[in-house]
Chains A and B, each alone.
Chain A
Amino acid sequence: MTQFAQRAVTWSENWRRFRKNKAALIGGLIVLAVVITAIIAPVISPYNPDDVVAGRLQPPSNKFWFGTDGIGRDCLSRVVWGSRTALMVGLGASLISVIVGVAFGSIAGYYGGIIDDAMMRICEILLVIPSFFLYILIVSIFRVRGPEYIAVLLALTGWTELAKIVRVDFFSLKEREFTKAAIGLGASDIHIIFRYLLPNDLAPIIVVATMNIAGFIIMEAALSFIGLGDPTACSWGIMLSQGRQYIGYAWWLATFPGLATFITAVGFNFLGDGLRDSLDPRLRGTI
């Protein structure tokens, strides 16, 4: 934890290092492609994703690149529109988890003592509950099935890692001279946290948040896949779960949305991994 001084690098230096990392660049390009796809979905999708445009279970052809699903909707259009859902869940959940996790971690790390002890116990409890079974429980009880609810659920159990990282870093940042100077000058706690501590801890937050996006997207697909999602939503997981029913004779139904999920997750993970290498060499190779 004594290598913090090395972190004082400029953003252009970061960008240079990032560019040299091929995997990261590929990841960044994939993410960019997915984001663009989601934005221009209405333009590039050949059909309305909810319209029945052809006979059911048509194999891929020139007219329907990815084939049609069980009730005759175009799979390509659904995959394209599904990117919106996936990104919404991934980015939304990640954003919420950053807010909760950073707030939690900074309070615990800044104040320390009993507050820290109590807060860390909460963290540990959350980490130990099998969150997957908790989702099942919550989803089945409250009947919340839409992707937006799933995103919130995922975020509310997925922030602990961030909280831990921020807390540990705050412990050492708190002892640095500039923080001591700020305290000596009589700066308020909030001012110190936002002006002195958080800016110095951005790198790991960004990295973990990026990699969390991939995890959240996969989890959303998994939950939808096992039948806990909203069956009317246009999401990759829902498509996969429908594809499962026809796996014996319609391979395209499950293949393409799964591939989309996989590629998107790879994109975010590679991007996060590359960001770690360029932003924060200290973290290199850790999860």
Chain B
Amino acid sequence: MFLLAYLAPGDPVTVFYLSRIGGRYSHAELDYIRQMLGLDQPIHIQYFRWIWRMIQGDFGQSYIWNQPVLPLIRSSILNTLRMMIPAFVLSILFGIVTGVISAAKQYSKTDHIVMASSLLMWSMPWFWSGLMAIYIFSVYLHLLPTGGMYTFGQPPTVVDQISHLIMPVLLYATSGAGFITRLTRSCMLEVLREDYIMTARMKGLKERVVIYKHALRNAILPVVTVVSLYVSYLVGGAAVIEFVFAWPGVGRLAVLAATQRDYPVVLGINMVVATVVLIALLIADISYAYLDPRIRY
């Protein structure tokens, strides 16, 4: 139920959107189109109709691509995941390792360097670094393709796709890694102050064991929480990366649809992405139970 309440957010916007659309076309063709699209109905009826259809999996027709919205979104979301998942895994691995190292050696030189560079990574306008990477590696060095998922006119191969993946994945991973590094560090520092860490050290355990076995296990929990809360933000980052590298993902679809005023698509994407984020939150919730034996559902 808690999760269902989350689903509500898109709705006020939706109402507004549906009320605006009639006005948008308002001169010549109107009445006919209105009738056809059911826009001559009062707002609340339109709204419930839209909800009703959406529950049945019908997001309406795209104005521009002239096909149902859902398949459009489905294929693009798969592409997005294909890029996001490796990037996400990379950034989490990298972020946690550097975060732990810098927390274990607080105020050392390593710590300062890691903290400063993670802040630099975090301040990087990732779309700009994408452009620069395209310029250096594609235009100048001719090493990697500029964008897209496959090379045109060639049979899709694994190598080809990987070469298309390298730049977006790495860039996306660095932008997330800076954030996760700082987060991990602060959570680790918190945990390292606890009494049981002291106890573990007193027992004469190796520092490595203390850090990785006792501290990290406890520190990882808040990291998971915060990262899961920021999933929606990360999805937005992915959208821009997709745009830069012309990756046919959901973010690029949203941008294209938005610039061409294809509302059903934009709206559908909003709903689908919100749902995906909710699922991610649910997964995070469930993983707590795994990470923290104290929590039982």
Contacts and interface: CB of A to CB of B under 8 A. Distances in A.
Contact of A127 (B120, B127, B232, B254): B232
Contact of B125 (A226, A228, A262, A273): A262
Given A228-B259, A254-B132, A254-B135, A285 B186 contact: yes
A125 B9 contact: yes
Contact of B186 (A128, A257, A287): A287
Contacts of B9: 125-126, 128-129
B274 A247 contact: no
B221 interface: no
A251 interface: yes
A258 B128 contact: yes
A136 interface: yes
A96 interface: no
Interface in B1-58: 5-6, 8-10, 13, 16-17, 20
Given A127-B232, A132-B236, A133-B273, A240 B131 contact: yes
B18 to A, nearest CB: 10
A137 B15 CA distance: 13
Interface stretch (B151-159, B161-169, B261-269): B261-269
Nearest to A286: B186
Interface in A264-283: 265-266, 268-270, 273
Residue among B13, B116, B229, B232 having the largest count of chain A Cβ atoms under 10 Å: B232
Contacts of A240: 125, 127-128, 131
Interface stretch (A38-46, A50-58, A217-225): A217-225
A94 interface: no
A85 B93 CA distance: 37
Contacts of B200: none
Nearest to A124: B6
A133 B239 contact: yes
A140 B6 contact: no
Please report whether the interface of chain A is mostly helix, strand, loop or mixed according to DSSP. Answer: helix
Contact of B235 (A125, A133, A228, A261): A133
A139 interface: yes
Contact of A247 (B135, B183, B233): B135
Contacts of B101: none
Most buried by A among B5, B16, B115, B240: B240
A262 B120 CA distance: 9
A141 B20 CA distance: 8
Interface residues of A, number: 51
Contacts of A228: 255, 258-259
For B120, B128, B236, B281, the residue with the greatest tally of chain A CB atoms inside 10 Å of its CB is B128
A258 B132 contact: yes
Contacts of B277: 128-130
A68 B120 CA distance: 28
Nearest to B17: A141
B131 A244 contact: yes
Contacts, number: 159
A28 interface: no
B232 A131 contact: yes
A222 B182 contact: no
B134 A247 contact: yes
A67 interface: no
Nearest to A285: B186
A203 interface: no
Interface string A177-212: 000000000000000000000000000000000000
Contacts of A134: 13, 270
B243 interface: yes
Contact of A227 (B123, B226, B255, B266): B255
A214 interface: yes
B210 interface: no
Nearest to B24: A141
B139 to A, nearest CB: 5
Contacts of B139: 247-248, 251
Given A129-B274, A225-B240, A140 B135 contact: no
B186 A130 contact: no
Given A130-B273, A133-B266, A243-B131, 10 more contacts: A128-B229, A128-B277, A129-B274, A130-B233, A142-B20, A247-B139, A261-B125, A285-B185, A285-B186, A287-B226
Interface of B: 5-6, 8-10, 13, 16-17, 20, 115-116, 119-120, 122-125, 127-129, 131-132, 134-135, 139, 179, 182-183, 185-186, 189, 226, 229, 232-233, 235-237, 239-240, 243-244, 251, 254-255, 257-259, 261, 263, 266-267, 269-270, 273-274, 277-278, 281
Nearest first, the 6 closest Cβ-Cβ pairs linking A and B are A132-B236, A258-B128, A140-B258, A265-B123, A130-B232, A285-B186
17 contacts: A23-B116, A129-B9, A130-B233, A133-B236, A136-B258, A137-B17, A141-B16, A141-B17, A218-B123, A218-B125, A226-B127, A251-B139, A258-B125, A258-B129, A258-B132, A262-B125, A285-B186
